[in-house]
Chains A and B, each alone.
Chain A
Amino acid sequence: MNTISEAWQWLTDSAHWAGDDGIWHRLTQHLVLTVVCLLLSCLIALPVALVLGHLGKGGALAVNISNVGRAVPTFAVLVLLLLTPIGRWGEGPTVVALVLFAVPPLLTNAYVGMRGVDRSVVQAARGMGMTGRQMLWRVELPLAMPLVLSGVRIAAVQLVATATIAALAGGGGLGRIITAGFNLASTPQVVAGAVLVAVFALIVEGLFEIGERLAPGWARGRGRTG
């Protein structure tokens, strides 16, 4: 209990919130990092998954490759990139490592969603004379939307959680508070930092949950493939 009250004291000390090492600054870094990486990985994964899902070809390969990708520790990718020329470019390694990390759930969910669309509906659309492009945008994508969005949700929460690892390699974000705590051998600071990150991740999960409840019917759904 003592550690918890000390961690609470650390959190409520206003000196820890201000400045370049302060909580606000780290929180902003964390948020920016997460949003940038989420957008980039959506831009990479979703078009590929939608096109492959529409064509019905090569998807199994893409899903398998991205599943193998999960076996690669993000921390290892981060450090490997740090030692290459990309490492000289500020947050470059972190962004690349996190994007690689977020692509698999996005790709798998979007592809599975596209393939899960009832074939008879697709055939009906074709019978109505829709072109491939029209079918993709007006039939398949709307029906696949719940799974696509749940992929985005999984990716977002995992990104928030994993962005902390950037701190191990000298990057910014809330993880920095934890690693700094380890270096100072200050357990209260470590615990306080951990609580901050956990709360942030839970808030993001909660926001997606609320968004899902408020969303129009076609975007709702609880389908998750992980």
Chain B
Amino acid sequence: MTAPPDDCLARNEWICGEYLSTRRQIIVDAVLQHLELTAVSVLIALVIAVPLAVVARRWALAAGPVLALTTVLYTIPSLAMFSLLLPVYGLSASLVVAGLVLYSLTLLVRNILAGLRAVPDDTRQAARGMGYGPIRLLLTVELPLALPAAMAGLRIATVSAVSLVTVGAIVGFGGLGNLIYTGMNTYFKAQVLTASVLCVVIAVLADLLLLGVQRILTPWTRAVRS
């Protein structure tokens, strides 16, 4: 009979190189699932949010219900949201995605709408005077000018989505949350710490990436400052 190996895994330490090397595949899979869930949900939310915000901007009557609905959605706790959608989607990744989409919607709609409302009337009238139709006005004047506010919303939505994905562990599709959840049940410290740190790293990197995209897309905001 051989004695159990005396490495940091056996001693259950917080920081453990052994863990990283022996479970690399598990960690990579969890990170990929995390990224995929976040990206898919935020993109779907974005595709839904832009038309909603545009409609709410055009017709004042629509603004109230759209904002009220998205606010109510945001008030529903994440654990409850996943549970409420359970009868519709069952225990699946789509359940987590649907929940995250509903959350991101609030932040995105609010920010895009705020951005559209902040477009000066003079600017719109100038564009109209230059013969821009409503569609061209929206695509080439209003939406670009709403970009900074919209991107701010997108950044908050993405960072929140990264951290909310972990709650998806309750249905088995939580990316790094799965590692945290199983690590909790087995008192596996290295796994919990590694997964938590990776969550934060993903959130920060995603935020920086979006900040970079924003700077590339809105060069005029930099020129004004100096």
Binding site for B on A (CB under 8 A): 3-4, 68, 70-77, 79-80, 82-83, 157, 160-162, 164-165, 167-169, 175, 178-179, 181-182, 187, 190-191, 193-195, 197-198, 201-202, 205, 226
B-chain residues with CB within 8 Å of residue A3 when the two chains form the complex = 87
A168 CA / B185 CA spacing, docked (Å): 10
> Separation in Å of the B68 CB from the closest CB of chain A?
11
Of chain B, the residue at the smallest CB distance from A68 is B204
Q: Can you spell out 6 A-B residue pairs with CB atoms less than 8 angstroms apart? A: A3-B87, A71-B163, A73-B166, A73-B180, A164-B80, A197-B79
How many residues of B sit at the interface, in one of the four size bands?
35 or more
Q: A193 contacts B80, CB within 8 Å?
A: yes
**A interface SS class:** helix
Identify B170's interface contact among A83, A168, A198, A205, CB under 8 A.
A168
Q: Are B204 and A75 in contact, CB atoms less than 8 angstroms apart?
A: no
Chain B residues numbered 39-70 whose CB sits less than 8 Å from any CB in chain A: none
Beyond A71-B207, A191-B84, whether A76 also contacts B180 by CB under 8 A is: yes
Q: B167 touching A194 by the CB < 8 A rule?
A: no
Q: Check if B162 sits within 8 Å of A197, measured CB to CB.
A: no
Q: Which of B110-163 contact A (CB under 8 A)?
A: 156, 159-160, 162-163
Report if B83 contacts A (CB, 8 A): yes
Contact present for B187 and A178 (CB under 8 Å): no
Residue of A nearest to B195 (CB): A76
With a cutoff of 8 Å between Cβ atoms, the chain B residues found around residue A198 in the complex are 75-77, 80, 84
A76 touches B192 (CB 8 A): yes
Q: Which residue of A lies closest to B206 (CB)?
A: A71
Instruction: Tell me, yes or no, whether B81 is within 8 Å of chain A by CB.
Output: yes
Q: How far is the CA of A77 from the CA of B160 in the complex (A)?
A: 15
Asked if B211 is at the interface (CB within 8 A of a chain A CB), the reply is: no
A73 with B199: CB separation less than 8 A: yes
Partner of B81, one of A160, A193, A194: A194
Q: A178-B79, A201-B77 are in contact. List 20 more A-B contacts (CB 8 A).
A: A72-B163, A73-B164, A75-B177, A76-B180, A76-B195, A161-B77, A168-B181, A182-B83, A187-B86, A191-B84, A191-B87, A193-B83, A194-B76, A194-B83, A195-B80, A197-B76, A197-B77, A197-B79, A201-B76, A202-B72
Partner of A165, one of B72, B75, B167, B199: B167
Residues in chain B near residue A179, CB distance under 8 A: 79, 170
Tell me whether B204 and A178 are in contact (CB under 8 A): no
Minimum distance in angstroms from A179 CB to a CB of chain B = 7
A71 touching B80 by the CB < 8 A rule? no
Taking a contact as CB atoms closer than 8 A, the residue among B72, B79, B189, B203 that contacts A83 in the complex is B189
| A197 close to B80 (CB less than 8 A) | yes
* Cross-chain contact of B183 among A68, A79, A190 (Cβ < 8 A): A79
| Contact for A161 among B78, B180, B187, B195, CB less than 8 A | B78
**Do A168 and B84 have beta carbons less than 8 Å apart?**
no
- Nearest A residue (CB) for B181: A168
Partner of A73, one of B156, B163, B207: B163
Chain A nearest CB, measured from B15 CB (Å) = 13
Q: Report if B169 contacts A (CB, 8 A).
A: yes
Please measure, in the bound complex, the distance between the C-alpha atom of A76 and the C-alpha atom of B180, giving whole angstroms: 7
Out of A76, A168, A202, A226, name the residue touching B79 (CB < 8 Å): A168
Query: B192: which A residues are within 8 A, CB to CB?
Result: 76, 79-80, 83
B196 proximal to A (CB < 8 A):
yes
